[in-house]
Structure 1
Amino acid sequence: MRLLTAHRSKGLEWELVVVAHVQQDGWPDLRRRSSLLGADRIGLDPSGAPDLVPPVTSRALLTEERRLFYVACTRARKRLVVTAVASTDDEGEQPSRFLAELEITPEHRIGRPPRPLSLGGLVAELRRTVAEPTTSQPLREAAARRLAALAAEQAGGRQLVPQADPASWWGTRAPSTSARPVRDPDRPVPISASMLEALTTCPAQWFFGREAGGISAAHQAVNLGQIVHALAERVATGELPADVEALMLEVDAVWERLAFRTPWSRKREHDRVRKAISRFVEWHAVNPREFLDSETRFATAVEVDGQEIMLNGTADRLELTSDGDVVVVDFKTSRGAPSGPSVKANLQLALYQYAVDAGALDEQAGRSLRSGGAELVQLGISDDTPVAKVQVQEAHAADGPERQRLRLGLSRAATMIRDETFPAVPGPHCRDCTFTSICPARSAGSVTAQ
């Protein structure tokens, strides 16, 4: 099979020729052909002297287009197929006037042709025939023989029609399993706040990204957030002063190592970091609570619905209220802030509170601690306010509805891990998902079962 223009087909012949898409605005194409500087009009007069050639007339263009159509149609030895689209809209595509010059009444067909016009369509029809239980056995066997013949065709050591090989069909192979479980079955299921949020949003996305090695490179915003968090920790421990200019000197010391696409984006992000640091310094200066620790790693085991779960994570900052309760502070450098109801239901803060109440920090503090709530400190919001936006999540009671919802989420997450079943859940997060092509809920990814 060869795909050629009418010009390239001159002098060649085939048993079957298809002249496709013979539309009025494309064939004949009566637009004038000319180069930018009009070099096509340079010629010679009858005496041989250089002269300008008159532009080609519409009549001459029509004659040339008709000749090309004749050339294309006469390339067929036995069978000629000419196709065009007739739109129901007067302003839509219409067949070319050249069709009438064939002196054959066109056959108007609506819908798909009874037989496929592509190799992929042929394979699909044969596969459908083989798999259809109501089809007669001789016809199914004939279709299977055709598929086997197509699958056996090779060139240069590779299959020409790999889709005809049953080995490439979805659902024909046994599910693959891992010899090693996702998590050690003899130990508590480790669950962090980010893991819980990901499993609650879309378990399949979490599995593809975190367990199957499909995570993409971190966005530049992640690096900026790490800078702000590192400076906040050094200020909290007294290593650096709570001074904007002093902290910006630390930023400038590493800024050139960061890659930006454009100079203006580099300046924009530098200004945004300065604004975030200014807000942090202001928040730090007026914060009345006692500083306890920063960048604190924790891990504590809890039992939820008969399952042992290990809560783990890292808290940006821990502070004590006047009553001695622990408040977990989480710094945010994103451009937007969640709504009030979203903060109330925030799983990360809820898990931090649960970990405190479960004794995650008791050994470090030398006494039994109780959660006094948690809060998000928004440092990177894209507005001109000089102060950080503080979003508070009130303390959760041990038997309150918030704690019950969290425990239910933890139980479901632990069950998924133990069963190694990670379903795809469609939602707004699908817009930015990098695994759409293999997602069972969004594409032909039903071959992938997690």
Structure 2
Amino acid sequence: LFEAAAAYVDRLPRATIEGFVEYLEQQEIPQDSAPVTDPGEAVTICSAHAAAGREWDTVAVAAVQEGIWPNLRPRGTLLGVEDLVDLLAGVGGSGEKVSRAAPLLAEERRLLLVACSRACRSLLVTAVESVTGDQDLVPSRFLADMDGEAADGQPGRIPPPVDPGRALAMHALIAELRAAACDPETAPERRLRAARQLARLAEAGVRGAHPDDWYGTAELSSTNPLWDSEDGAISLSPSTVDQLKTCPLRWALERHGGGDGENPHALKGNLVHTLVQALAGQVSEDQVKQALAKAWKKVDPTARDGENWHSRAELRRTETMVDTFLAWLRNTRDELTAIGVEVPVD
């Protein structure tokens, strides 16, 4: 649809949306926007399963990494038919929980061999290894199986990973210079050279080079406590407890206005909760609908011009949530009393 709209606008730059809809409705044979490509000059990108039964002169098998090849995450059908098949094949005794790791590993190995065997002339297999110890970047165990010379006790053809050195990125250079300039155990001459290079970068306006931009070097802006409650109690919700465990500093900063702004979806969700609470407090349905229309212009700034179709659709969707709650209330309860919101529990 987007391709058809782009082609239509290219031909008729001042066309309207109504004209485009009419153009689509009048088509008897839909326009084929697929490019005409010579099969002999094209590169086929497909999965290993789709490559079965086909062949090419050159085949590249990319990202042969642990976690990707082999992918040993459990998978199967709802009724566990694969376990039944293993049981009937004599894998494991009756009543014994059959492990799927070994069959999955064998299946992944066969799949890699299928992909590699599609090459008639040359085969390229790629993998990367992190020099920083990142466990997510580990070459697959299958690479050793493919290196026939290494299997015979001879040096393999697959070279060991080489440290590429510092990345050609400005932030990596600044980090290395800062580490050298601030490390008291670094040789004084090296520290002086790093400080001079940082000064050159700072003079050129490179962000992060000047010490004023470094974290932890500024004086404390305030020594007042973050909370001034008399009993020292801090209210927590389940979501904030999870965030507190993940990163306490982020929790404290966002608690005091350090966020990027309210998520519009969260704002709309909070609005629906407030409206539902008002309905449970015996506020009339008409009053709630009026309050929703009034609050919507603040929740969604694009609604102020009244022409934004997406905003109108979201408003109708929110109204449907309120109507659904009212229907549930009428069908299941004679009345609903709001006891409180986020009532403290022990």
Normalising by structure 1, report the TM-score. Answer: 0.32
Higher helix share: 2
Normalising by structure 2, report the TM-score. Answer: 0.40
Higher relative contact order (CA 8 A, sep 6+): 1
Higher strand share: 1
- Of structures 1 and 2, the larger Rg is shown by 1
